[in-house]
Amino acid sequence: MSTTVVPALRAVDAARSALRAALGNRVRAAGPDRTEALAQDSTQLNAHPAVTMLGGALRVLAVPAPRVPYFEGFLDGIQRSTTVAYLDGVPLLHGTAAAAIRVRDAEGRMRTWQRPLVDHSVYASRQLLGDAMWSQVETILAARGHRLRDSDDSLPVTSRHPSSLLRQGLDLLSGVRSDLERQVGDDWCTAHGERPLYVDGSLRGSRAMLKSTGIAGIVKSHATLYVPDESLAMVLTLGAGQRTSLIAVLGEEQRPRYLTWYLRLRSAVGRDPFFGLVRVETGPCEGDTAATEMQADRVSTGLLAERSPIARPDARWDVMPYAIRDCEVYLRATA
């Protein structure tokens, strides 16, 4: 195998060198190659249609250097699944979903805020099992503290293919996890109001969190782009410690539903353009644009403050703060 790979790599290097010689710094090394992983990823890639650039056009802004921590809590959730059995060819999927907030104590060590929310359920298609069997299975599982959830609630049955049915169950499990995360986040809002909370993922599902200016949702994946094509290069070439200006994501009646911006946490020189790039979501701030930008700076500075310690060995360490990894480790150890 190596006899075929090595010449290919040499050819890639040769091409890159030639391009760089001709075009200079506009050509950047791609770093660890994600091409093969992308080829196997079925996530839909698209652009968000309903956005508007605050201030007219997208700009690149330098984020002030962090001096003090900003975020007080870190919210994350996990899900874990395994196929329990096949009943008359219908898969029974066991899923665990959990969510928790970890906060820093006076020494900077992570502790759990309140108790984590954990859900253990079995997911199956009620339509395919039939009501009688469903009731029987539900009774058996209830005796062992498990809830039976109907995966048809997620997606209607389109195929009896077991993999399709499992995907159905996984979709519902993902929804359960999101619900738990939202519930924990809402509890934080109730208990602590505007106090800064780092939410791993989008805030879109929680009205309460979107209302709180202290809460920021950090999105690590970029399947959906929130900038028009002509501004994309600006995002992909952000330097470390730089962010874009604010982007309003519009909801009904073209009113801003929440704000978002891109932030480069770590230098991507020699790496993939998405390396160290996150997208931040916050609720729409009341007041003028300048005040909103200031709040975005505070959040961005707070995110830069979380770059160290790094979250290795997690593969997403370039965009994941250590506190979120800590939260995941905690949930995996306890849920």
Partner 1 sequence: MIDLPDQRAPDAAPDLPAPLGRVVATERRPNTPHEFHFWTALDANIGIGTIVRVDGSVAVNGRVPRIFGVVMEGQSWTDMLSPLDDVMGRDGDPGGGHQFTQRTEIRLYTASVLRHMPDEPLQPVPMGTVWLADDTDVALALRMDGYLAADKRTAIPVGLYRSGGTESPVYLDADFLLGPEAAHLNITGVSGLATKTSAVEWLLQSIFAHFPADKGSVAAVCFNVKGPDLLYLDQPATLAPEDRAMYDTLGVPAEPFKDVQFYAPYDAALRGLATIRSNEALQHNVQPLTWGLREVLQYASVLLDREDIDAKSDALIDFITDRVVNQKFSDPMLGGEQTVQTFADLDHWFRTLLDGLERKDAQSWRTHHVATIRKVRNRLVNLATRCAGLVTDGADVSDLPFGSFADRSVHVLDVANLEEDAQGLIFARVVSKLREHLERRDLGVNHVIVFVDELNKYAPSDGPETYVRRMLLDIAERGRYLGLVLFSAQQFRSQVHKRVVGNAGTALYGRMDGDELATPGYAVLSPAVRTKLSTLDKGQLMVRHPHFTQPVFVRFPRPSVLSGRLGVERFPAAPIEEFDAAMLRRLRRFDSTLTLDWLRTIIALADEPDVIRAVRATEREQPRDAKQYFGSQFRRQVAPRELGAPQARVQPLALPVGDDPYGF
Binding residues for partner 1, rule: CB under 8 A, are: 68-69, 72-73, 103-111, 113, 192, 195, 305-310, 312-313, 321-323, 326, 329
User: Minimum distance from CB of 178 to partner 1 (Å)?
Assistant: 23
User: Minimum distance from CB of 221 to partner 1 (Å)?
Assistant: 22
User: Minimum distance from CB of 271 to partner 1 (Å)?
Assistant: 13
User: Minimum distance from CB of 287 to partner 1 (Å)?
Assistant: 26
User: Minimum distance from CB of 111 to partner 1 (Å)?
Assistant: 5
Closest listed residue to residue 79, CA positions, set 334, 315, 335, 314: 335
Closest listed residue to residue 218, CA positions, set 109, 79, 311: 311
User: Minimum distance from CB of 259 to partner 1 (Å)?
Assistant: 25
DSSP E strands, the chain: 46-47, 51-53, 60-62, 73-87, 90-104, 110-124, 147-150, 197-200, 215-219, 224-225, 242-244, 247-250, 256-264, 277-282
For partner 1, give the closer residue by CB, 157 or 329: 329
CA–CA distance, 41 with 182 (Å, rounded to integer): 26
For partner 1, give the closer residue by CB, 103 or 209: 103
User: Minimum distance from CB of 310 to partner 1 (Å)?
Assistant: 4
Say if strands 90-104 and 256-264 run parallel, antiparallel, or are unpaired.
unpaired
For partner 1, give the closer residue by CB, 124 or 331: 331
171 neighbors 182 (Cβ within 8 angstroms): no
For partner 1, give the closer residue by CB, 199 or 235: 199
For partner 1, give the closer residue by CB, 53 or 305: 305
* Angstrom distances, CA of residue 240 to CA of 29, 201, 237, 264: 16, 21, 9, 5
User: Minimum distance from CB of 191 to partner 1 (Å)?
Assistant: 9
- Other beta carbons within 10 Å of 123: 29
CA–CA distance, 67 with 1 (Å, rounded to integer): 51
For partner 1, give the closer residue by CB, 181 or 326: 326
Which residues are registered as beta bridge partners of 99?
Answer: 77, 117
For partner 1, give the closer residue by CB, 130 or 239: 239
Respond yes or no on whether the N-terminal peptide bond of residue 309 is cis (omega within 30° of 0): yes
Closest listed residue to residue 259, CA positions, set 225, 301, 194, 210: 210
For partner 1, give the closer residue by CB, 136 or 334: 334
CA–CA distance, 324 with 303 (Å, rounded to integer): 12
